[in-house]
Amino acid sequence: MLRFNRKSLKSNIFISMLLLVVSTFALIAGVTFYQYKEQVKDYNEDRLERKEASIQITIDFVLRSTSYELITEKLPFIFKDEIFEIAKVQGENLTIFDLDGKPLISSTESLVGQGPKPIPDQILDKLENAVEKRFVDQIDGEISQQLSYSYINDPSFKPLGILQIQYEDSDAFINREMREILLRLVIVNVLMVIMAVVLAYFLARYITRNLKKVEDNIKETQLDKRNEKIETKELPVELLTLVTAYNSMIDELEGSAAKLAQNEREAAWREMAKQVAHEIKNPLTPMRLSVQSFQRRFDPDDPEIHVKIKEYSNTLIQQIDTMSSIASAFSNFADMPAQQSESLNVPKIVKLSIDIFNERYIYYESEKDEIMANFDRTQLIRVVTNLVKNAIQATAQVAEPKVVVTVTDEDDQVAISVRDNGIGITEDNKAKIFEPKFTTKTSGMGLGLAMVKNIVETYRGSITFTANPEVGTVFTVQFPK
């Protein structure tokens, strides 16, 4: 089993196809070479047997036609000339030995100065013990040879001598045939590699296309939107189980998302109700104490009764104003801004928003007098005034406070930044700065920045900040034109 590193499925398929083709080629080449080698071996053995049979027929004919006495000692005289003719006709070297293995006559005597060597005793034993009275000795070297040994018999089948045939294997045959077959195999293998590459490419595309679709759908799966299911009509069986499980997960996810959203809304309303109740109770307590104190001390004959009534009235009015501010703050936070396509000159609206403040340390900067963008006028004023209020409160304890409001044109975006040299934001508070109810001030509900973030994100914008306790804070709002 192949084991791959962390690679793509397409690469694994491609490599597997190439390995399959190459290994198949190597296996076929090995089997072919072995087969041809065996065929050549059989061919040489059959050819040697045919030559040996033909030579034996000729020898029998010579023995029947000779006038010499058919004894071992006369064999050199009987085959004095015939051995060369037979060797020439058959194309092989012949040697005749006596029954003890000593050479009598050879067709190589005229070519080689020294005669042939005697037959070794072990070969004589093997020849004598052979069933067919025939033995072939294989000699490997630069030129592969087979030495065939068989008896020369007279017409009454009495052994007269031993015939040795020196047969050279046909290496040219195997070399020529192997070159041709290997050339054909190489051509076929190249074609198979090309076909494998093309097949692997389309096969990998077909397989990974469906996997890529599943991957894209999984990546796009979100809890806060409706997710599309994957069609199963054209999917292969191997992917059907995976896609079916994914579609079931989508159904479960939608149910979970709806339930989670409902739980979040209920939790938010419970938290909001607690916050409203808490904030309303704060002014109600001093109002109750004021009324009780007035009841105990009320004296119609008191010469300062009018002054006391006025003080009592002012106290109630202040607490009522506080309750009204609380109600307005929660109302503004709950009022989701509507996306109105209103073309505004952003620098002009920002300048008007700043003009309502009397602080002289508030500065306005803009690189252009006109930067047009689509935004709701009221909501833009609300964003700017909330950020400026926070900056003013952050610089309350600074000897030389400074707040700078800047409007910049950034291609298809508009950026509004509010920079102050106040107390900054601590590291612990940075993660909670946009959470509703969070505030570091002794007064207020902590809904300002949460409301600003809600407005900006409604218009596909963003709000970011950088803060340093020693330098101050910069809030930057960006939204598309």
What CATH number is associated with residue 25? 3.30.450.20
Show which of 292, 313, 334 is a domain's final residue.
334
Q: Is 327 part of any domain?
A: yes
Span 421-435, pLDDT tens digits: 888 777 766 766 776
Q: Looking at per-residue confidence, does 104 or 186 come out higher?
A: 104
Take residue 77 and report the two structure tokens written for it: 């005289």
Pair (255, 402) in one structural domain? no
Q: Is residue 100, in this structure, part of any structural domain at all?
A: yes
Region 151-171: mean pLDDT is: 83
Average pLDDT of span 34-47: 77
406 confidence band (pLDDT: 50, 70, 90): very high
In a domain, 226, yes or no: no
Domain region containing 366 = 343-480
Judge if 251 and 353 occupy the same domain. no
CATH code of the domain containing 389: 3.30.565.10
> pTM above the 0.85 mark?
no
Q: Write down the residue that tokens 């962390």 correspond to.
A: 6
Tell me the pLDDT band of 10, cut-offs 50, 70 and 90: low
Instruction: Let me know if residue 396 belongs to a domain.
Output: yes
- 3-class SS of residue 171: helix
449 and 442 Cβ atoms separated by less than 8 Å? no
The 10s digit of each residue's pLDDT in 261-280 is 667 666 656 666 666 665 56
Instruction: Evaluate whether 234 touches 207 at the Cβ level (below 8 Å).
Output: no
Angle at 125 between CA 120 and CA 129, to 5 degrees: 150
> For 479, phi and psi rounded to 5 degrees?
-150, 150
Residue 257's CATH number: 1.10.287
Q: Are residues 90 and 17 in the same domain?
A: yes
Say yes or no: 299 and 348 in one domain. no
Q: Do 288 and 356 belong together in one domain?
A: no
Q: Is residue 265 part of a domain?
A: yes
For 157: left if phi > 0, alpha if psi spans -120 to 50, otherwise beta; the answer is left
Same domain (yes/no): 376, 243 = no
Residues 161 and 21 in one domain: yes
Contact 388, 381 (CB under 8 A): no
User: Looking at the domain assignment, is residue 193 inside a domain?
Assistant: no
As a whole number, mean pLDDT of residues 52-58 equals 86
Same domain, 164 and 249: no
Tens digit of each residue's pLDDT (9 = 90 or more) over 316-333: 776 676 666 666 656 655
Which of 334, 358, 383 is the C-terminal boundary of a domain? Answer: 334
Last residue of a domain, one of 159, 174, 189: 174
Average pLDDT, integer, range 185-202 = 78
Residue 204 lies in a domain: no
Please tell me the predicted confidence (pLDDT) of residue 268. 59
Q: Is 407 helix (H, G, I), strand (E, B) or coil?
A: strand
Mean pLDDT value of segment 430-446: 56
Average pLDDT of span 156-176? 76
Tell me which residue of 367, 365, 280, 281 sits closest to 328, measured CA to CA: 280
Specify whether 358 is located in the same domain as 317: no
Contact (CB, 8 A) for 236 and 219: no
Identify whether 69 is part of a domain. yes
Indicate the Cα dihedral angle 253, 254, 260, 266, nearest 10°: -170
- Same domain, yes or no: 294 and 352: no
- In the chain, the number of structural domains is 3
- Same domain, yes or no, for 415 and 330? no
448 & 352 share domain: yes
